[in-house]
Structure 1
Amino acid sequence: MNKILMVHPSDNVMVALTDLEANETISYEGSFYTPIENINAKHKFALSDFNEGDEIQMYGVLVGKATKEIKRGQAITTSNVKHAANEVKVGERKTAWGKPDVSAFQHRTFQGYHRSDGQIGTQNVWLVVPLVFCENRNVLAAKEILEEKLGYSKGRDYELDIDRLISKSQSGATASDLLTEDILVPTKEATKERVFKNVDGIKFLLHDGGCGGIRQDSDTLCQLLAGYLNNPNVAGATFLSLGCQNAQVEILQDAIFKMNPELDKPLFFVEQQKSNSEGEFIADIVTKTMAGLVEANKIERKEAPISALRLGLECGGSDGFSGISANPVMGYVSDMLVTLGATPILAEFPELNGVEQSLTDRCVTQTDAERFVELMAIYKKRAEAVGSGFDANPSPGNIKDGLITDAMKSAGAAKKGGSSPIVGVLDYTEQIKNKGLNLLCTPGNDVESTTALAGSGATLITFSTGLGTPTGNPITPVIKVASNSILAERMKDIIDFDTGAVVRGENSIAEKAAEMLDYLLAVASGKAETNAMRLRQDDFIPWKRGISL
């Protein structure tokens, strides 16, 4: 295994693949390098002397500028480098690319749910959704009644012996005594047989919107919910309305019709202000949902082409290896899917800062190139208007593990999008229309972005992480991809796929990508359950783009 890596031939920093000691001489591709101080794995050191203002290059792009003198072999840190990124302009289209070998997958299929409008899903779930936060409690009441009775309430593979703590506290134990007690008791996970065999789940969404903010936020929420109903992973929905909120039923119905006039899924609306009692209201919710489940249960999985897949590309809790292992593997899968006629979706616009030129050049049409530049500029301006900016994107965890500027983080994050041409640039809640790689404007926030990907039509989501995050989604399976094997082993109840072998040099990116696509087809067919699905990690956070009044 190599101890160091140069990501791109034009880079002037080197990545440490393991912890390096000061004055250790390291051989790499026929040359020798000597760090002058200890360098932690995932971090970078200078390949030449830098003066204040000199550019730092990584992944072949500008990722920062020196804020003071940096010696050859010295670590690159937030104390000596600041964020910097190249300016972007719309130029010539550069859409030539090398397609990967997909012969092993050319005739592969998956078992999906075919909808009447031609879309094909990887799940068949029913939604129970509030149009306003006032109805969250009633959503939870319906969940308590329906989940266990219908076999969708999963047991845990552990119990907590609370009785032991109660007994000891009643016997005079101190707080310190209780802190030393081990109350974790492993158990065998118990699951009840599902009443509706062909319905993969009932998903009860909660949110804090629908009223009280600006009207645009309520309208956008309706657009997002329409997108969830339109997603082929959804069989139908029960929507709860209080009656007086900004997010009116008519606004949602109009959004659904404009999005997909051919949508014929079962759809029910219940309004609390027309009900005589809470009991009557909950009974109405349960009855209508049961009626919808009867219809949803009629559809069965059938053979479907890989070209029907729509794969969301997401990252969160990134580290210094994310852009070397997990993201490039996902990017290679993206290229494979494009070659096979499918649709990958690259999101998180704040994490594309610094690589806009490459993405702009890859847009097939001038219109999409201009739209991407415009959306990025608007987003950046909004961030700066509230005293922030893209340069504030890296989290403390990112920085600790080697991602010290937003451009450096972005250059690695963009690897998820592979190298194929970009056929569509979409704003938040807009639906996927063109097969091939699409860009979707979302925040960098993990849950807001995965929420948006599912709302725009993603039927699977791959989610790379170097630090570990449990993020999931109610309607779209989220496959968690570790950038390193230490994380994959430590958080194996959360991680689904390990790309650490790429860092160690044991597998090529192409080899790992083929393994990943195999796994994606198993998940799409209902033959494999991701950890986020097993843990019922049904995260749902709509993006509020305006101020709250």
Structure 2
Amino acid sequence: MSKNYVQIDPKDNIIVAITSLPKNTFIDVAGETFTLQEDIKQKHKFALYDFKVGDEIFMYGVLIGKAVLSIERGTAITVKNIKHASAEYNNSKEKFTWTAPDASNFKQRTFNGYHRKDGKVGTANYWLVIPLTFCENRNLDVLESTLSEKLGYETQKDFAVDIEALIKQYKAGASSEAILNTPIITTQEEISKNRVFPNVDGIKFLKHDGGCGGTREDSEVLVKLLAGYIANPNVAGATVFSLGCQNAQINMLQKAIKGIDPNFTKTVYYLEQQQSKSERHFIEEAVKHTFIGLTEANKIERQPASLNKLILGLECGGSDGFSGISANPALGYASDLLVALGGSPVLAEFPELNGVEQEIINRCVTEKDAKKFYNLMRSYSAAAVAVGSGFENNPSPGNIKDGLITDAMKSAGAAKKGGTSPVVKVLDYTEQVTKPGLNLLCTPGNDVESTTGLVGSGCNIVLFTTGLGTPTGNPVAPVLKISSNTNLYERMNDIIDINAGTVITGEDTIESMGQKILNHIIRVASGETPSKAVLQANNDFIPWKRGVSL
């Protein structure tokens, strides 16, 4: 894709500028020759034909907008001259066929993971500490400050300060010069080498602002989400804090866990503060139980596992005008490879499927799932309209600035992450992934809420494409960031794992980049290469309260 401009689909009547194009640039595309009437910024689009008011605008082969002003051929497509529009859809599916890509190079590949008794395999091995209500967040802070650094786990920075060394110097009567020359900084790499439990990747503290005070439905959904985290294959066990009087009760969590796995065997310690002797005894009990849980979790070691045990969350955020033509379709090809290998990619963010609904309905294997997707999209859209908004308000200022003018334009590119395979199951928020193949999960477009939901439904690794950059991570699943352009990868290399910008420059094809992505997934899933989000301790966790979140 080394040309200066590209028509993505033969049906498209707007063209993408791969580089910034000055006025009077000669254009030869799709049998049309003309010169640009104005400067076109990189990643933005220009008209292939003259448009009248009301004319339909197509990109990725789908309707993404309508002209609200007359637009001359060779001029820029902007928020001023087009408005959002998307194709109509219905709940009757058409015939769909799929040819799987050649995955023979990966047939004999495995990853080294943590095998659980329920047959699932984790890409990491964590112990969770979970509050059932926000009232317990302070106690989680106490536990975190007590355990994390002392046991060799990360703090919120990439280094730790050893104040005890200065205290020892002071008590020994050291001079100011001696104190100034005392080394007190320890890097995370050095801390990790001293882990007490080398087979446990960390203790994760899932603080939140729910569990009480909101609607009962919010608490019920939160409990199901927390149950999903405890059941996630990347989790060895959990310590659960309850105040006692909140909406989200211990028995609700236990019931939700049994709903996921009737034969659940992981160790979970339930502690209720209102039944304790004192706060001191409560914390003491929590520390001791958690320590014992860590000793058990440390007994499990990584073992080879088939790639069909990978449950791959597909996410995007901070998208730009290249996301839909480099990072997203490359991830889509990796997704198709995983489906061919028996794995389970999961496509989320329902507001960012606006405009491609009929294509997805047609891809559903069963009529039941086609209708479920139809109903979820209709109800989500109606809820947004009911509060004076709508899917058309999804693109952020950053999206628009970098060339994503309408929601349908953004969505058509975002949907490319899901590849081309059949949809085997449509899941509502907190429902679990149980079928191999491409799953759809209803989550909002909010990056962290959506990523939180993907992991709560069972994903053991998440792939996150971005054109503008994001530090988003997750406490339980490694989140790998894929840049749509090389400039971003070079500027934010500390948080970006994979550069798909080489598709734009022509060094890679969609297929070759998709294979590179899958190879990187295998290394991370095996614990060989940590994700940048894990290195940066990005432990973002925001439960969705099922309100309108675009």
Question: Does TM, normalized by the shorter one, top 0.5?
Answer: yes
1:88 aligns to what? Answer: 89
2:536 aligns to what? Answer: 535
Whole-angstrom CA distance in 2 between matches of 1:38 and 1:159: 50
Is the contact between residue 155 and residue 189 of structure 1 (CA under 8 Å) also seen in structure 2? Answer: no
Query: Displacement, 1:535?
Result: 0.7
The alpha-carbon distance between structure 1 residues 46 and 29, as it changes in their structure 2 partners (threshold 3 A), is: closer
Deviation per residue, 1:213-263 (Å, 9 max, x gap): 000000000000000011101100001001100001111111111111111
For 2:190, the aligned partner's letter is: T
Whole-angstrom CA distance in 2 between matches of 1:210 and 1:353: 32
Q: Say whether residues 1:332 and 2:317 are aligned partners.
A: no
Deviation per residue, 1:151-183 (Å, 9 max, x gap): 1035855799xxxxxxxxxxxxxxxxxxxxxxx
Is the contact between residue 423 and residue 438 of structure 2 (CA under 8 Å) also seen in structure 1? Answer: yes
Is the contact between residue 225 and residue 455 of structure 1 (CA under 8 Å) also seen in structure 2? Answer: yes
Query: Displacement, 1:189?
Result: 5.1
1:357-396 equivalence runs, <5 A: 357-396=358-397
1:275 aligns to what? Answer: 276
1:178 aligns to what? Answer: none
For 2:352, the aligned partner's letter is: E
Whole-angstrom CA distance in 2 between matches of 1:427 and 1:266: 27
Is the contact between residue 326 and residue 503 of structure 2 (CA under 8 Å) also seen in structure 1? Answer: yes
Whole-angstrom CA distance in 2 between matches of 1:33 and 1:139: 64
Deviation per residue, 1:373-427 (Å, 9 max, x gap): 0000010011111111100000000000000100000000000000000000000
Deviation per residue, 1:484-511 (Å, 9 max, x gap): 0000000000100000010111110111
1:488 aligns to what? Answer: 489
For 1:537, the aligned partner's letter is: N
1:30-69 equivalence runs, <5 A: 32-69=33-70
Q: Say whether residues 1:14 and 2:15 are aligned partners.
A: yes
More off after superposition, 406-415 vs 275-284: 275-284
Whole-angstrom CA distance in 2 between matches of 1:28 and 1:53: 24
Query: Displacement, 1:31?
Result: 5.5
Whole-angstrom CA distance in 2 between matches of 1:237 and 1:190: 25
Is the contact between residue 156 and residue 537 of structure 2 (CA under 8 Å) also seen in structure 1? Answer: no
Is the contact between residue 427 and residue 440 of structure 1 (CA under 8 Å) also seen in structure 2? Answer: yes
Whole-angstrom CA distance in 2 between matches of 1:206 and 1:125: 16
Corresponding pairs, count: 523
The alpha-carbon distance between structure 1 residues 58 and 126, as it changes in their structure 2 partners (threshold 3 A), is: same
Is the contact between residue 488 and residue 498 of structure 1 (CA under 8 Å) also seen in structure 2? Answer: yes
1:314 aligns to what? Answer: 315
The alpha-carbon distance between structure 1 residues 546 and 396, as it changes in their structure 2 partners (threshold 3 A), is: closer
1:456 aligns to what? Answer: 457
The alpha-carbon distance between structure 1 residues 189 and 264, as it changes in their structure 2 partners (threshold 3 A), is: closer
Is the contact between residue 313 and residue 346 of structure 2 (CA under 8 Å) also seen in structure 1? Answer: yes
Deviation per residue, 1:132-163 (Å, 9 max, x gap): 00111110110000001111035855799xxx
More off after superposition, 360-369 vs 191-200: 191-200
Whole-angstrom CA distance in 2 between matches of 1:455 and 1:157: 27
Whole-angstrom CA distance in 2 between matches of 1:474 and 1:515: 25
Whole-angstrom CA distance in 2 between matches of 1:92 and 1:446: 30
1:23-172 equivalence runs, <5 A: 23-28=24-29, 32-153=33-154, 156=157
2:401 aligns to what? Answer: 400
Is the contact between residue 93 and residue 370 of structure 2 (CA under 8 Å) also seen in structure 1? Answer: no
For 1:533, the aligned partner's letter is: V
Is the contact between residue 312 and residue 462 of structure 1 (CA under 8 Å) also seen in structure 2? Answer: yes
2:252 aligns to what? Answer: 251
1:165 aligns to what? Answer: none
Is the contact between residue 93 and residue 365 of structure 1 (CA under 8 Å) also seen in structure 2? Answer: no
1:425 aligns to what? Answer: 426
Gaps of 5+ in 1: 161-185
Q: Say whether residues 1:505 and 2:506 are aligned partners.
A: yes
2:233 aligns to what? Answer: 232
Query: Displacement, 1:29?
Result: 7.2
Among the aligned pairs, what percent are the same residue? 59
Whole-angstrom CA distance in 2 between matches of 1:94 and 1:203: 45
1:191 aligns to what? Answer: 190
Q: Say whether residues 1:520 and 2:521 are aligned partners.
A: yes
Is the contact between residue 128 and residue 206 of structure 2 (CA under 8 Å) also seen in structure 1? Answer: yes
More off after superposition, 94-103 vs 104-113: 94-103
Whole-angstrom CA distance in 2 between matches of 1:538 and 1:399: 28
Is the contact between residue 12 and residue 57 of structure 1 (CA under 8 Å) also seen in structure 2? Answer: yes
1:262 aligns to what? Answer: 263
Query: Displacement, 1:298?
Result: 1.2
Whole-angstrom CA distance in 1 between matches of 2:94 and 2:231: 33
Is the contact between residue 333 and residue 516 of structure 1 (CA under 8 Å) also seen in structure 2? Answer: yes
Whole-angstrom CA distance in 2 between matches of 1:157 and 1:251: 37
Secondary structure (helix, strand or coil) at the match of 2:233 reads coil
For 1:74, the aligned partner's letter is: T
For 1:337, the aligned partner's letter is: L
Whole-angstrom CA distance in 1 between matches of 2:186 and 2:240: 36
Deviation per residue, 1:422-456 (Å, 9 max, x gap): 00000000001110000000000000000000000
More off after superposition, 379-388 vs 346-355: 379-388
Whole-angstrom CA distance in 1 between matches of 2:35 and 2:421: 37
2:300 aligns to what? Answer: 299
1:477 aligns to what? Answer: 478
Secondary structure (helix, strand or coil) at the match of 1:212 reads coil
Query: Displacement, 1:278?
Result: 2.0
Is the contact between residue 131 and residue 248 of structure 1 (CA under 8 Å) also seen in structure 2? Answer: yes
Deviation per residue, 1:315-349 (Å, 9 max, x gap): 00000000000000000000000000000000000
Whole-angstrom CA distance in 2 between matches of 1:242 and 1:189: 33
Is the contact between residue 427 and residue 442 of structure 2 (CA under 8 Å) also seen in structure 1? Answer: yes
Query: Displacement, 1:546?
Result: 4.7
Query: Displacement, 1:276?
Result: 2.5
Deviation per residue, 1:292-330 (Å, 9 max, x gap): 111111111101000110000000000000000000000
